[in-house]
Structure 1
Amino acid sequence: MKRFAVIGCGFWSQYQIAAWKEVGGVELVAVYNRTKSRAQAIADRFGIPKVYDTVEELLDNEKLDFVDIITDVDTHEKFTLLAAGKGVPVICQKPMAPSLEAAERMVSGCKKAGVPFYIHENWRWQLPIRALKQKLDEGIIGKPFRARITYSNSFPVFDNQPFLAELEQFILTDIGVHVLDVARFLFGEAETLYCQIAKVHKNIKGEDVATLSMKMKSGMHLTVELSYASKVEHDRFPETFIHVEGEQGSIELAPDYWLRTTTREATVAKRINIPYYPWVDSRYEVVHTSIVEANRNLLAALNNEGPAETTGKDNLKTLKLVFAAYESAKRNAVVEIK
């Protein structure tokens, strides 16, 4: 049984904690929040024995096998390095850091301390995306040469997370981190990237639309479309639509989790069922259920039962794409990914 603490009791913590309870094999012994009353509310709801309003005190007083950091991005480096300094393995919410330099310090700091460092990146664990990956690996459509990943909807994301409207960099650091991780998961690493961004909502600071064109090291072409300003027919927040063309056919992850595989012989369609958990917000169904599988993978790594897919070192490659996208948009130029 692994003992752990949650650092941060904001919007996502309730789902992260519920997902840990679903996985089992862990004991949540303490929570931290800078506003102690919020931490107490989470503790009361989930039966957590200890509550803290300073991370230092929590780390000094508790014997932990890991921490799960679910705070705002500007605190990730500080809390990660504090835990690493105590020899405590770290799981950190995405995005890892507000800059590539901070992320590199986090990775190197944990390596120097000799503690595992993982990023809680759940998007790739959505069952429809895993099913598409399986079809790709089976080789049914041959070698992919072109693909498109679309995350475009008009969901009022700022209503339940108003802080997002205050971010100077928004959609690429928020949903873009998820989708670019999926891109790497499905298609490998990028060679070059070109990006354009736009702000459609007038009452926000950052961009809410981004369009990226990438040439992958495999030679395939990939387009990524991101938007929280798109009023479209299939307005299916928070679904990700994916279309892959290969030498022998195509695969499409379509609205309502339909996976369609097309070859010269036929089109075969299958709807991917999403498991039900009573704590899931139905609006976030496919996202919240993926937290369970992400946690399961990270716990297996902590138990030395298998590798973690989303280590800090690996996630650095995703962050490089995010900040390369901002650089490309600023310069209106193609950026080489090194």
Structure 2
Amino acid sequence: MASRLKIACIGAGYFARFHVEAWQRIEEVELIAICDLNKEKADQLAQTYHVPNTYTDIDQLLNQENIDVLDIITQPETHLDLCLKAAERGIHIICQKPLAPTFEMAKEIVEKINQYDIRFMVHENWRWQPWYRKIKTLLDSNAIGEKLHSIYFRMRMGDGWGEDAYLHRQPYFRSMPRLLIYETGIHFIDTFRFLAGEVDSVFANLKKLNPVITGEDSGQVIFNFNSGANAIWDANRFNESKSANARYTFGEMLIDGNGGSIRLYNDGRVTIQRLGEVETEIEYTHNDVNFAGDCVYNLQKHFIDCYIKKLPFESSGVAYLKNLEIQEAIYQSANEQKVIQINQ
């Protein structure tokens, strides 16, 4: 590349700092601007991470700065308009999840963006946590056998109990009509597909434990995969983890195959226990940097690498719609209390 890609971020809320910090470590890019309706928040974030320009108006940003990529870190209801503003100017897009307030609007975003000659990726960073990349290599090498039996993940966040639930970090969680699956479960839908392949059907029980919020904060979801494997996601944001940092791995995982088991612990340790043998720890690199093992950096580096090399993204818009289809099936299952088949 003759010059670095110029990037601007729109949105200076809680999660934006992870995006901005990660961009500053990617040598192929230059982060030139931050935009937010709240000038004070934009200025503070820019000052912290040495970003030269701030804006409060997206049109002014797009008209005045010659940017290659727009990183959208705003609320889901703004994504359609922001994506189109960028696409109409030939600007490539990386967009945070949730992609849209509804499945229909998410499909509209993808369909309309596909009419333009630009690159588009959803910022689904969970699968980029280093433990999942390591676990994927173990599964692909048949480290616990050639047949996957099951995945079990237990999540207890402890940030959603009491009258002040979510107020200190993401207060908008309190009024979201859909919470646990829409905001958190979507990560695990994508990660389970990354590890185990396509989903055949789902069954879900969802409920609200904290009466001060609007949406569901607890649930158990059963995934049945085309391969014959199964997964259980057992999660709530109300009860607490015993982990010193519940937001590192967000829980613990057990994966069983016909040759043994893989375990992920709260501190990021990954172990393998082959049948008839003792549990042993797998050596790999993971650090408590940025967010959840530096997954934001890993994803954004993937975006840049694929852009430069003209390779497909792991989380393209079209690919991500399958996650949202499964998300909708989970809500349907919980409402109707029956197994819902996923269209193949």
Q: Give yes or no for TM over 0.5.
A: yes
CA–CA distance in structure 1, aligned partners of residues 142 and 313 of structure 2:
25
The CA distance in 2 between the partners of 1:73 and 1:166, in whole Å, is 14
Q: Report the alpha carbon displacement of residue 254 of structure 1 after superposing the two structures with TM.
A: 2.2
Tell me the TM-score normalised to structure 2 length. Answer: 0.91
Q: Are residues 1:293 and 2:298 paired?
A: yes
> For the residues of structure 2 that align with 1:265 and 1:145, how far apart are their CA atoms?
17
TM-score with structure 1 length normalisation?
0.93
Name the stretch that deviates more: 117-126 or 54-63: 54-63
SS in structure 2 at match of 1:31: strand
Encode CA deviations 1:294-321: one digit per residue, 9 max, x unaligned: 1110111121264321111111111111
Distance 1:172 1:326 in 2: 8
Q: Give the 3 Å change call, closer, same or farther, for CA 233–34 of structure 1 in structure 2.
A: closer
Query: Following the alignment from structure 2 to structure 1, what is the Cα–Cα distance between the partners of residues 14 and 342?
Result: 34
Q: Give how far 1:8 is off.
A: 0.7
Please tell me the residue identity of whatever aligns with 2:318: K
Counterpart check, 1:216 vs 2:190 = no
Distance 1:110 1:139 in 2: 38
Structure 2 distance, partners of 1:195, 1:275, is 33
- 1:31-82 CA-to-partner distances (Å, cap 9, x unmatched) read 2111222212222223323222221221122211110000011111111111
Residues 1-338 of structure 1: pairs in structure 2 closer than 5 A:
1-142=4-145, 143-156=147-160, 158=166, 159-234=168-243, 236-238=245-247, 239=249, 240-266=251-277, 267-270=279-282, 272-275=284-287, 277=289, 280=290, 284=291, 286-287=292-293, 289-304=294-309, 306-338=311-343
1-structure distance, mates of 2:267, 2:338: 36
The 8 Å contact of residues 300 and 307 in structure 1, kept in 2 or not, is answered as no
**Is 299-308 or 114-123 further displaced after alignment?**
299-308
When structure 1 is superposed on structure 2, of 5-14 and 249-258 the one drifting more is 249-258
Letter in 1 for 2:287: P
Per-residue CA deviations over 1:177-226 (Å, capped at 9, x if unaligned) read 11111111101111111111111112111111121111111111111122
Asked if the contact 1:198–1:207 (Cα under 8 Å) also holds between the matched residues in 2, the reply is: yes
| SS of alignment partner, residue 237 of structure 1 | coil
Matches of 1:324 and 1:226 in 2, distance apart? 17
Deviation at 1:89, TM superposition (A): 0.8
CA contact (8 A) 1:155 1:237 kept: no
Distance 2:84 2:246 in 1: 35
Q: Is the 8 A contact 1:153 1:236 kept in 2?
A: no
In structure 2, C-alpha distance between the alignment counterparts of 1:75 and 1:93, rounded to whole Å: 11
Q: Could you tell me which runs of 5 or more consecutive residues in structure 1 were left unpaired when the two chains were aligned.
A: none
Contact 1:6 1:67 in 2 (8 A): yes
Q: Is the 8 A contact 2:243 2:267 kept in 1?
A: no
Distance 1:51 1:93 in 2: 20
Work out the CA distance in 2 between the residues paired with 1:209 and 1:178: 15
Instruction: Tell me which amino acid in the other structure corresponds to 1:274.
Output: H
* Contact preservation (8 Å) 1:191, 1:215: yes
SS at match of 1:173: helix
Conserved in 2, the CA contact under 8 Å of 1:257 and 1:272?
Answer: no
Secondary structure at 2:335 match in 1: helix
SS of residue in 1 equivalent to 2:111: helix
For 2:6 and 2:220, the matched residues in 1 are separated by 42
Identical residues among aligned pairs (%): 27
Contact 2:246/2:266 (8 A) holds in 1: no
For residue 334 of structure 1, report the CA deviation from its aligned partner: 1.2
Indicate if the aligned counterparts of 2:272 and 2:280 stay in contact, CA closer than 8 A. yes
What is the CA–CA distance in structure 2 between the aligned matches of 1:226 and 1:173, rounded to whole Å? 13
- Matched residue type, 2:333: S
Q: 8 Å contact 2:10–2:74 — kept in the other structure?
A: yes
Structure 1 residue 271, shift from structure 2 partner? 5.9
Is the 2:35–2:61 contact (alpha carbons within 8 Å) kept by the matching residues of 1? yes
Separation in 2, partners of 1:272, 1:135: 12
Q: Contact conserved, 1:153 with 1:235, CA < 8 A, in 2?
A: no
Greater shift after overlay, 232-241 or 180-189? 232-241
Instruction: Name the amino acid aligned to 1:249.
Output: G
Letter in 2 for 1:5: A
Contact residue 124 and residue 185 of structure 1 kept, 8 A: yes
